Amino acid sequence: MPRTMLASGLLAALAAAALVAGSAGAAKPTGSAAVSGNTAQALLAESKNNGPASQSAAIDILVGLSFRTPSGMPALPQFILDTVTPHNQYFHKYLTPQEFNQDYVQTPAAIAALEQYLESYGLTASQTNQQGYTSNDYLYVEGTVGQVENAFSVPVNQYQYQGRSFLANTGDPQLPTSYEGYDLQSMVSGFSGMITLSAFHTMSLTAASAGSTSADITCTLGGYGDCNGPLYLSPQQTRQIYDAGNLTGAGQTIAIATLAPFLTQDPPQFWKYYGVDRTGTLKEIGVDQTIGSGGMSGLGQGGSETSLDVEQSGSMAPAANIEVYVAPNTNNGFVDVFNAVVNGFAGTVPNTSSISWGEAEQFTTPGYASLIDQQFEQGAAEGVSMFAASGDSGAYDSYGYYGQNGLSVDVPAAGAYVTAVGGTTLGANETVGVAGIPQPSQFACMPETEQAWGWDYLVGCYGDLGFASRQTAQNAFYPTGSGGGFSTYTPEPSWQQSYGGPLKNQIGKGVPDVSLNADPFTGYSIYDSSSVETTASAPWTDGWGGTSFASPNWAGIAALLDQATNTDLGFLPPQLYGLQGRGMRDITSGDNWYYDATSGWDAATGLGVPDVENLAQALGK
């Protein structure tokens, strides 16, 4: 069941008390050390350095606070594992936000010391930002570039990349190792906002993304499908393919975290058209912004992203309540939206959540990725099953955003405390009779059975798709597919180490953990009356896919699993890997342009796709 929210007034009172406690008798800082992993080396190497930034330029940053281990409690990673280990004293004994902050967040006195140090350089530092939102594990710090450079002993320069100007620190920030009796350097986990460039993108695309000749393929190629109405999978067909049975998600709450607003009137029209018996509620919550009644027009693909997240999760779990958290599309907004979810900013802490936005790992910093993952870590301690789309660029997540071609995975999917969701292509065994989806007899490239999603399978049909050669088709399709690979920031977690197979002795976390249909050619429709592609009178678009669809469906599935087992299953990865394949349908064919789908876990589809009813039985034992 949803847990109680963290009252912002409580945090404000604690912060005020801490400031009073730490205001007198400030001592000089002694010693200093770098807070490592907070320089965007890959990004800066690709950017033009235009020299020092203006000393008077305004800058807003978040300073992350490391979690501590309280007396009488396990360290946080161990506590999370204990909550999902049967017969352990902490099994399913999840924390409320208040308990989490009391036990694992830095003490008010320690936070006050850090605030005092930063304010001694003219910066303002508080756990509450200008919009009145109070965080729990980071400080909002505002000031000028000159003040930041002095406080953290690091230059900040002006850079340019592909026509975009941004600020960035040239090395790791430094902090005192002794100040007012506290080691400030060890207290800080990472930074957000010191680098002002962000490239968060949605994980959705259409069949037309393969090239203009592929637009409306299901209408024009072979004459199958109805081009006058929504095609592809209905919500009922998706539920049937993954064996959702009669589960509805009753009594559960799903949080959708997003960086674009939407019109709350749109998803009900989607559900009405398909005959989805929705009994759950729908609410949109602004984070660092005010969203009026009825929501806001997204006017772009970002708004369509939010609409599809709600439409899909609400169809998979029709009785679950949905809370949509909308933050600005900035580095700091991305942190705030997750912090709002796990602290119950809407009034309750959800049972499950999904995010379909992300950024290539190497163009963030390890410190920023850690600050993001801290929010998922808190969610895990509170029993929230949290999911993130793994990306739509196959094994090359940075491709197309910074002109890179190397292997890469996505933040936040690469974090330790989130379930990363990859994508598959459905086969004829799953899609027979589905309007708009071609069968192998109609389009030879379509598979017979579900396989890893990678658009290289389409290259052989280049002529049917209107391409002059295999090479031109490959150039159009590459590297669209299921995001997957190995993190260079997050160490391989223990549940993957114990699983063995291709994960054994890997250096970083393997992505994804699980998968679900994400190929636009076997995909979905969206109802969005306010996107750049639609109007109020023509709100439907077809041929959608991406791991953006897989992640919210998995959030809905988690709500079904909680209902079926009559408990909050909480952090799922250790439990799923421990099942050794039970309740999952292994995907053993296809690839994501680099990694093949194989027996057991692989870096294209993870552990495979769910058989919901069997998975509920396996998890309930």
DSSP string, 89-120: TTTT-PPPHHHHHHHHSPPHHHHHHHHHHHHT
Is there a contact between 115 and 182 (Cβ–Cβ < 8 Å)? no
pLDDT over 80 at 5, yes or no: no
Which pLDDT score is estimated for 465? 83
Residue with tokens 């192998």: 440
Which CA distances in Å does 87 have to 80, 91, 93, 439, 496?
A: 14, 6, 11, 49, 22
- Reduced to 3 states (helix: H, G, I; strand: E, B; else coil), residue 45 is helix
Residue 12 has pLDDT above 80, yes or no: no
Task: Using alpha carbons, select from 513, 509, 484 the residue that is nearest to residue 497.
Answer: 509
Per-residue pLDDT for 222 more than 50? Answer: no
pLDDT one-digit tens code per residue, 443-457: 899 999 999 999 999
CA 607 to chain centre: 19
Q: How far apart are CA 273 and CA 280, in angstroms?
A: 17
Choice among 225-234, 296-305, 344-353, 414-423 with the minimum mean pLDDT = 296-305
Report the pLDDT value the prediction gives residue 344, as an integer from 0 to 100.
92
Provide mean pLDDT across the span 346-367.
92
List, for residues 143-187, the tens digit of each pLDDT value: 999 999 999 999 999 999 888 899 999 999 999 999 999 999 999
Q: In the prediction, which pLDDT does 416 show?
A: 97
Closest CA to 195 of 162, 134, 154: 154
pLDDT at position 540: 84
pLDDT at 297: 53
Q: What is the mean pLDDT of residues 110-129?
A: 96
In the sheet that holds 138-144, the strands lie side by side as 124-126, 138-144, 58-65, 188-192
Q: Is the pLDDT of residue 466 over 90?
A: no
Maximum CA pair distance of the chain? 81
Is the confidence at residue 220, as pLDDT, over 50?
no
Task: Specify whether the CB–CB gap between 515 and 609 falls below 8 A.
Answer: yes
Residue matched to tokens 């993870």:
606
What integer pLDDT is reported at residue 154 of this predicted model? 97
State residue 17's pLDDT score.
39
Kindly give the pairing relationship between strand 124-126 and strand 410-411.
Answer: unpaired
Pick the range with the lowest mean pLDDT from 244-248, 278-282, 475-479.
Answer: 475-479
So what's the pLDDT on residue 202? 79
Distance, CA of 586 to chain centre: 24
Q: Are 248 and 319 in contact (CB under 8 A)?
A: yes
pLDDT digits (tens, 9 = 90+) for 29-61: 888 999 999 999 888 988 999 999 999 999 999
Nearest to 490 by CA among 418, 417, 574, 414: 414
Q: CB neighbours of 212 closer than 8 A, spacing ≥ 6? A: none
| Residue 385 CA from chain centroid, whole number | 12
pLDDT over 60 at 139, yes or no = yes
Q: What pLDDT is attached to residue 610? A: 98
Mean pLDDT calculated for residue range 354-369: 92
The DSSP code sequence of 317-384 is: STTSEEEEEE--SSHHHHHHHHHHHHTTTTSEE-SEEEE-EEEEGGGS-HHHHHHHHHHHHHHHHTT-
Predicted pLDDT of residue 7? 40
Residue 592 has pLDDT above 90, yes or no: yes
Q: What's the CA gap between 334 and 595, in Å, rounded?
A: 29
* Average pLDDT of the residues in 239-265: 95
How many angstroms separate the first and last alpha carbons of the chain?
20
Query: pLDDT value at position 342?
Result: 97
In this structure, what are the phi and psi dihedrals at residue 271, rounded to the nearest 5 degrees? -65, -40
Stretch 280-293: mean pLDDT: 87
* pLDDT at site 11: 39
pLDDT of residue 298 exceeding 60: no
Residue 87 and residue 359 in contact, taking contact as beta carbons nearer than 8 Å: no
**pLDDT (0 to 100) of residue 532:** 74
Closest Cα to residue 91, out of 74, 70, 72, 69? 74
- Helix 547-565, helix 612-620: angle, nearest 10: 50
Q: If you average pLDDT over every residue of the chain, what do you get?
A: 88
CB 201 within 8 A of CB 129: no
437: nearest Cα among 615, 226, 228 = 226
Which amino acid, residue 612? V
Contact in structure between 390 and 423 (CB atoms under 8 Å): yes
Instruction: Identify the CA nearest to 324 among candidates 277, 389, 280.
Output: 280
pLDDT at 214 over 60: no
Q: What was the pLDDT predicted at 57?
A: 97
Alpha carbon 572 to chain centroid distance?
15
473 within 8 A of 465, measured Cβ to Cβ? yes
Predicted pLDDT of residue 404: 58
Contact 53, 173 (CB under 8 A): no
**pLDDT given for residue 502 in this prediction:** 58
Is the whole-model pTM more than 0.75?
yes
Q: Which domains does the chain have, with CATH numbers?
A: 3-68+105-192 (no CATH), 201-582+589-620 (3.40.50.200)
